[in-house]
């Protein structure tokens, strides 16, 4: 398959995302003023509490089995490597450029937390739908891609809420309290995040997917309670377009704000779209050589693509929910997602070329 053909396959999913983002930006602009800041905040709450848990539960219950969860053991390791290396690189950016104190958590979070869930749910099926993709066509590729994307999204749940929104300054300040008070606060925070709606949805989805009698009860045309699964899918299908529209609306704030240094933005872009993807190629190829990965090239493509994704939308969601660094977050998102249109297409083409060789 030629390079130009691979480039077209890689470009189409990015164009899909950009079109929805542009629509969100127009709806939030002064000309339309339909997707106001208050409306975005309210929709964010609904997405966090209803749509995202429903999407995780429905997707995992339908696409992930016990055998899959065992054979895909390297994916959580892969995500852990991304968080670790991205976090270290983010702290190096903070040490070198010394941004204001209230922005340091945002810099680290933007370097370490990627959009493992929503964007993959758009990109992977769109790649499978393109004729001439190196992973096979039809429903088989799409079903496998949705399984990988759903698994990736579920793994995101325990990572982001307990780490990144705290790094963004959203947790309460317990400095000056006794050690016992700090321990109690930390334990309470962990319990609170483990019982957060997205985490609960992911756990329930895993349980239904891996327990055969539960799966046969809720999933399938002959399942007696398939109406529950269908209802959850109906709710979950609203998550991706809502989040993408909100992203477009939030990016309009970044056009008017210049509170973040251009060097900080350039450093985040360099980490996300230059250093991490190169590390990803090395990690995945090494894991494949050592026999850690299933032979499916689509699975390996997803692992590589996780290293080249833009910052997680949940960072912006948490910043808006807790009213912390919203303007600065919008600036970072504006530039990282604009560059992602080029970087994600280029790296996706490179990854497919490597796997098709």
Residue 178 lies in a domain: no
Q: Which tokens sit at 259? A: 């509170």
Higher-confidence residue of 326 and 66: namely 66
Residue 248 lies in a domain: yes
Question: pLDDT digit string (tens) for 221-267?
Answer: 888 999 999 999 999 888 888 888 887 887 777 666 567 788 999 99
Residue 237 lies in a domain: yes
Residue 115 lies in a domain: yes
Domain count, the chain: 1
> First and final CA of the chain: distance in angstroms?
9
pLDDT of residue 248: 84
pLDDT tier, 1 (very low <50, low <70, confident <90, very high otherwise): low
- Beta carbons of 79 and 152 less than 8 angstroms apart: yes
Residue 316 lies in a domain: yes
Higher-confidence residue of 257 and 26: namely 26
pLDDT tier, 320 (very low <50, low <70, confident <90, very high otherwise): low
Question: pLDDT digit string (tens) for 150-177?
Answer: 788 777 765 544 333 444 444 444 445 5
pLDDT of residue 172: 45
Residue 10 lies in a domain: yes
Residue 106 to residue 103: CA distance in whole angstroms: 5
CATH of the domain at 321: 1.20.1530.20
pTM: 0.81
Distances (CA, A) of 325 to 94, 101, 106, 240, 301: 16, 11, 8, 23, 34
- Domain extent at residue 36: 3-166+184-356
Residue 175 lies in a domain: no
Residue 219 lies in a domain: yes
Residue 287 in this model has a pLDDT that exceeds 70? yes
Chain mean pLDDT for the chain: 82
pLDDT of residue 78: 95
For tokens 């190096």, what's the residue? 92
């Amino acid at each position: 398959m030629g390079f130009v053909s691979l480039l077209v396959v890689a470009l189409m999913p990015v164009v899909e995302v950009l079109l929805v983002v542009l629509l969100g930006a127009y709806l939030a602009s002064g000309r339309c003023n339909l997707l106001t800041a208050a409306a975005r905040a309210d929709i964010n709450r609904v997405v966090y509490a209803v749509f995202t848990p429903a999407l995780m539960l429905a997707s995992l219950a339908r696409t992930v089995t016990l055998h899959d969860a065992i054979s895909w053991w390297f994916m959580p390791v892969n995500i852990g490597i991304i968080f670790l290396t991205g976090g270290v690189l983010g702290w190096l950016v903070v040490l070198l450029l010394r941004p204001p104190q209230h922005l340091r958590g945002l810099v680290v979070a933007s370097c370490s937390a990627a959009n493992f869930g929503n964007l993959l749910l758009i990109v992977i099926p769109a790649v499978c739908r393109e004729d001439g993709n190196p992973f096979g066509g039809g429903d088989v590729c799409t079903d496998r891609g949705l399984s990988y994307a759903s698994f990736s999204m579920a793994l995101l749940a325990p990572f982001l809420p307990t780490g990144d929104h705290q790094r963004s300054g959203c947790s309460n300040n317990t400095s000056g309290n006794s050690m016992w008070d700090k321990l109690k606060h930390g334990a309470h925070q962990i319990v609170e995040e483990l019982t957060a709606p997205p985490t609960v949805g992911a756990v329930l989805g895993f349980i239904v997917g891996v327990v055969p009698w539960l799966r046969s009860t809720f999933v399938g045309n002959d399942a007696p309670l398939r109406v529950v699964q269908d209802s959850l899918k109906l709710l979950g299908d609203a998550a991706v377009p809502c989040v993408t529209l909100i992203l477009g609306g939030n990016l309009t704030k970044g056009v008017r704000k210049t509170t973040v240094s251009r060097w900080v933005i350039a450093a985040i872009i360099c980490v996300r779209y230059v250093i991490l993807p190169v590390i990803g190629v090395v990690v995945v190829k090494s894991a494949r050589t050592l026999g850690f990965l299933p032979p499916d090239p689509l699975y390996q493509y997803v692992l590589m693509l996780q290293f080249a994704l833009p910052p997680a939308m949940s960072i912006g969601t948490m910043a808006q929910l807790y009213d912390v660094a919203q303007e600065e977050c919008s600036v970072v998102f504006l530039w990282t997602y604009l560059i992602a249109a080029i970087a994600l297409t280029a790296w996706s083409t490179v990854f497919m070329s490597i796997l098709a060789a």
